[in-house]
Structure 1
Amino acid sequence: MIQYGYKNKERNYVWKLSKSTHLEIMLCSKFDTALNVTGLIRLVLFLLVLKTDLFHCDTHNSPNIVIFLADDMGYGDLQSFGNPLASTPNIDALFSGGKKFTQFYSSSPICSPARASLLTGRYPVRTGVWNDINPPVFNQEYINGLRHEEITIPEMLSNKGYISGLVGKWHLGVGKNKEFLPLNHGFDFFFGAPNTLGDCPNFKCYYPDDDCEGVDYSPEKAPCQLIFNNELIEQPLDLITLAERQIRAAKSFIQTNACDRKPFFLLYSSLHQHAPQFAGRRYRNTTLGGPYTDSLAELDGEVGDIMQELRESGVLDNTLVIFTSDNGPDRREGTLGGHNGIFRCGKSNTFEGGIRVPTVIYWQGRISPGISTELLSHLDIWPTIRRITGSSTDNIILDGFDFYDVLFQNDESLRQSLLIYDTTPSSVEGPFAIRTVQYKAHYYTQTTSYCEPDGIDIMCRCNPNSTFQSHDPPIIYDILLDPEERDDISNTSYSLVDELAELLAMETAKISFSPSAIKDVDWESQLCCNPGCTPYPYCCKCPSNYTNSLLPLYEDCKLLPRKNRNVCRKK
């Protein structure tokens, strides 16, 4: 809704032009006098002349959507979450100005499945992003990707005229002919890394003097790549300048669509805090915590610069902003890994540290700041965006619940339970755990390769003798009173054990496994800028084709806010 004001002496006529149906006229008058009909007619004629531009400027019925997705961020990493060594003023500002969710969950404790669920609103096993033997992540050697049958958020929004962009990490498959890259899943724009930085041949990459190309080289892996839409433009990927280029890509995307007056969806999928850690010149040696918090500061800078661009482009008031992480932190990295505060274990583990993620939703002037303790999941983002944007889709089996009323009316969440699958799910065992509003029951636990080498907690510590364990009765925690998961109450109530078992059976029966997309391997299919070179894939190195001209900035085209109205300018 956009407002235009018209004053006539003691009267102030405020006009609201709605894109969808009607023109509302409100008369604010200090005196009970007759309406100035002549002035009214003149204003109506004036508005009719401007009708086209006004309709384009009014986008409240099609709000922009921006999701900041951190990579392996710990629940205790942020300054506002108690980390005294971090400097995260921009992310903290979102949490203070938005609605902070303290019980928000990823659908998986590891990257690719978590990202698939966020984009589809479905459990990873439904989408095919699972593997019952190896960790289910799309490394370079896998030739498949997220199934094309899945309806992603961009595909859902396309029928409402949205333009969708992805900046940063994809990690949902490439394919032998790039058939699984983002542009084949509804995105109109992509600038970033197709795979995980875990494939890069280095342990860390900090300005100015780290060896970013060979410290921890895996000879079977091609150097990491930078993709622009479907084109490979850089190999190896320059991590030192990556953040500033990704910021430029996001700015270019926002400006272009703001100038064209088109609603947009931007998934800003940062490569921070995943190993290898990195930070450029702007943020190196700027924090008390050393390299890890320097990289965290760079992530915070990315958020701050993009929020500033939304403000300067005049679209912030009409933009829903979500900040979250794909899963918990990588605890095997020691000082180069994240912090989980009170929560147990980390990435790849089904304890809280692997799946509870810091999350805030911000919409200036629309969502009241505060804290919500409602049980929610990444699965719930898809159906909530559908309702907010008024998008329509064919019948789709979703595992998410619309939490619009939680956001705007502080109502209770529709979600009453959440199935928690491990990193190698099986249709035989089913979920490792189930979370309800009050309780969490672990039926299986397992120490994985993402363990803590010197951890105090035996459930999180690396131990070759501590692998898969079955629990009958399950380990049960009152998760509201015991979020640290320390006091097993399974022996205090047999009826509770039975109730949770019945709920688990009922919810699991609703889930069907799609064939795994993370099985087929072809080491010769890795993206290479120099096809046919030897020794492959180490030889896949070429001069960068990146230039700023790929990401133009339209400084003269802004939707400039002026008091309570927007002034739309053409290119």
Structure 2
Amino acid sequence: MPSTRYPNLLLGAIVQEEEDLERGHETEAITSLPDGLDGLGQGKLEAKKMASLPTFLLFLISRICRCYQSPIINKPNFIIFLADDLGFGDLQSYGNALSETPRIHELVEDGIKFTQFYSASPLCSPARASIYTGRYAVRSGIWPTAESLAPVFNQNMTGGLPHAEITIPEMLAKQGYKSALVGKWHLGVGRNKEFLPLHHGFSEYFGIPHSHVDCPCLTCFYPNDNCAQPDQCDMFNAPCQLLMGDEIIEQPVDMTLLAARQARAARSWIRKNSCSVTPFFLMYAFSHPHVPQFSGRQFRNSTKGGSYTDSLAELDWQVGEVMDELKRSGVIENTLVIFTSDNGADVDAMEEGGFSGVMRCGKRTTFEGGSRVPTIAYWKGQISSRISTELLSHLDIWPTFRSLSGSLAEEFDVTLDGFDFKDVLLKNGKSQRHSLLYYPGSPKPHIGAFAVRDIKYKAHFMSGFDGQCCISSPTPNETFSQHILFDILGDPEERNDLSTKSDLILDKMSILKKIESENVEFGESVLEEADENFQLCCNPGCEPYPGCCKCASNYTVEMFPINVNCDLLNLPFHQDQNDACQN
């Protein structure tokens, strides 16, 4: 049998320098050799030998590699790349000339670029809950009962995503999947860590449990540059924690190293599960480009757009690292990849907050800029390159993954707000979604959804504004005095109010909102209880708490081995490739 090194060599690789945290060196990506070769010098020699082989022999080896690179896994793998506060107009592929996001652009070139894909909330925590559960977040109790309460989970809160909810990892586990979360959680910790990812179906977790803006932020850019907007950070909370599972391994987090560490963790996990032929779900939840932006040595001052696009470039690099690992591990053709954002751009932060493109307003609002998000789907060999205008939502991911994984709807006792869009992905079919509710950042049961849309129209029944854009929780003096209506297909900017010209359509939309809203029951709020004594601290009992929660880092690269070689020759393969090998 041929050596396993040659198939791996022809698959190509981009490996990372091992970072030496004891000396403060940052991990960087370098174009180099496949994992598993005995030293950099030997690898160069092997590559040189390959380049000198006769054309006939190169053809023979490439044919052998084609037979060995794609193991059979009857169930597809799933990856969600979830950006944080990425606006509809932020990416290079969505029209931003200042953004340098070539790896995301590669997904667009060979995948589906969606133009009407929506978050289920214009704010972080409820948006993430809706992805994981396939349900509007108000059902899960992720709404504040008073204006004085935060509409998202912060470090002082002791609640979390209710365990009664069936998350994507829990749903997929019935089909033998393993799930990992790399990055931001933001769905609660609890008094005894009972709401962290490992307690919601994930088998592994590596990342920051809260938003990094909920911590003191001083250094955001390599080597020790200040954060662009430190005033937005909570300087009186505990320093940000880096968790592995339920345990703190670093506090405060070194933000300049976070991207490289997360990319390594994702690569290691993909390699491990690919080698064991285990179907997997990876949620890669970035803290980029949420304020305050941050980046490491490789991307600091690397773009024309400043801190924001530097942050985007580092996000893009992480996408590339994961995609390259899928190729190296031989599972690229068996993995559905979805890139999206939790909600729209934080336009209130001005130039540091992102760009909504032509969409009106941004994060926290029920205008299009708050919840219409850039979304891309990629699945090599299964998805054809195109632009889709189908109406879809994050709510639709849960039932689609369920369908593709092989489970039946009746296996789960759950009321979903999403629809299976498998046919949109694989057959260029039509979406089953015909309407969408828009909840504000701080919804109220007596008001319900602020807006509703169908295929063509969108009607606002409650919305506030400050003269320039909008706010999320209107006061009596800052509300529209009448309902407003837009042809959302022809006027996605929401500029031309049709409400005085189309009474019949407005009445129809009012009925639609009533019917749809009545089907959504608000759960008991989980954002009420708070106790600062339960902030995660690596040094319990220290004083003055919580600022004293600082410890030496326990992170090592050995936690996430990426030079693990599995024998591709011993894995099961696609039948057609086996047939090709026999001929």
Tell me by how many angstroms 1:284 deviates.
Answer: 1.0
Unpaired stretches in structure 1, ≥5 consecutive residues: 1-53, 452-456
Alignment match of 1:498 (pick from 502, 507, 527):
507
Q: Secondary structure at the match of 1:166?
A: strand
Q: What residue identity is the alignment partner of 2:503? A: Y
Measured at CA, do residues 466 and 288 of structure 1 come closer, stay the same or move farther in structure 2, by a change above 3 Å?
A: farther
Counterpart in 2 of 1:124? Answer: 137
Please list, as runs of the form range in 1=range in 2, the aligned pairs for 1:53-92 lying within 5 A after superposition: 57-59=71-73, 61-92=74-105
Q: Residues 442 and 282 of structure 1: is their aligned pair in 2 closer, same or farther, counting only changes over 3 Å? A: same
Q: Distance in 1 between matches of 2:559 and 2:199?
A: 20
In the aligned structure 2, how far is the partner of 1:126 from the partner of 1:102? Answer: 27
Give the corresponding residue for 1:326. 342
Question: Corresponding residue for 2:431?
Answer: 413
Equivalent residue in structure 2 for 1:340, among 349, 356, 366: 356
Deviation, 1:412, is 1.5
Counterpart check, 1:293 vs 2:309: yes
**Is residue 512 of structure 1 aligned with residue 521 of structure 2?**
yes
**Equivalent residue for 2:327?**
311
* Alignment CA distance shift 1:198-1:491 (3 Å): same
Q: 1:214 to 1:497 in 2, by over 3 A?
A: closer
The corresponding residue for 1:397 is 415
Does the CA-based 8 Å contact 1:104-1:358 persist in structure 2?
Answer: yes
Task: Name the residue aligned to 2:42.
Answer: none
Equivalent in the alignment of 2:54: none
Equivalent position of 1:485 in the other structure: 494
CA contact (8 A) 2:227 2:293 kept: no
Q: 1:203 to 1:337 in 2, by over 3 A?
A: farther
Q: 1:345-384 residue pairs with structure 2 within 5 A?
A: 345-384=361-400
Deviation at 1:218, TM superposition (A): 3.7
Distance 1:218 1:437 in 2: 41
SS in 2 for 1:490: coil
SS of 2:270's partner is helix
Q: Name the one with the larger helix percent.
A: 2
Q: Shift of residue 244 of structure 1?
A: 0.3
Change (3 A) 1:70 1:566: farther
- Deviation of the 1:212 alpha carbon: 6.2
Q: Is the alpha carbon distance of 1:130 and 1:510 closer, same or farther for their aligned partners in structure 2, counting shifts above 3 Å?
A: same
The structure carrying a bigger strand percent of its residues is 1
Distance 2:374 2:426 in 1: 20
Matched position secondary structure for 2:283: strand
| Count of aligned pairs | 503
Aligned partner (choices 168, 172, 194) of residue 179 of structure 1 = 194
Contact 2:71 2:331 in 1 (8 A): no
Match of residue 177 from structure 2: 162
| TM-score, structure 1 as length reference | 0.84
Q: Amino acid of the residue matched to residue 114 of structure 2?
A: F
Cα deviation digits, residues 58-96 of structure 1 (max 9, x gap) = 21x300000000000011111111111110000011111
Contact 2:463/2:472, CA 8 A, preserved across alignment: no
Give the stretch that moved more between structures: 491-500 or 68-77. 491-500
Q: Report the Cα distance in structure 1 between the residues aligned to 2:253 and 2:296, rounded to whole angstroms.
A: 13
**Structure 2 residue identity aligned to 1:92:** H
What is the deviation of 1:203?
6.4
Amino acid at match of 2:80: I
Contact 1:258 / 1:558 at 8 angstroms: preserved in 2?
Answer: no
Aligned amino acid, residue 164 of structure 2:
E
Which of 288, 292, 300 is residue 276 of structure 1 equivalent to? 292
Match of 1:225 in 2: 241
1:330 to partner: Cα distance = 1.1
Shift of 1:286: 1.1
Measured in 1, the distance between the counterparts of 2:386 and 2:139 equals 34
- Structure 2 residue 573 is the aligned partner of structure 1 residue 555: no
Matched ranges for 1:202-241 at <5 A: 202=217, 205-211=220-226, 216=231, 218-241=234-257
Letter in 2 for 1:380: D
In the alignment, structure 2 segments of 5+ residues that lack a partner are 1-67
1:305-351 per-residue CA deviation (whole Å, 9 max, x = no partner) reads: 11000011000000000000000111122221101110111110110
Q: Note the aligned Cα RMSD (angstroms).
A: 2.4
Cross-structure match for 1:426: 444
Aligned to 1:146: 161
Instruction: Tell me, yes or no, if the aligned pair for 2:85 and 2:342 is still in contact at 8 Å.
Output: yes
Mapped partners of 1:461, 1:262: distance in 2:
46
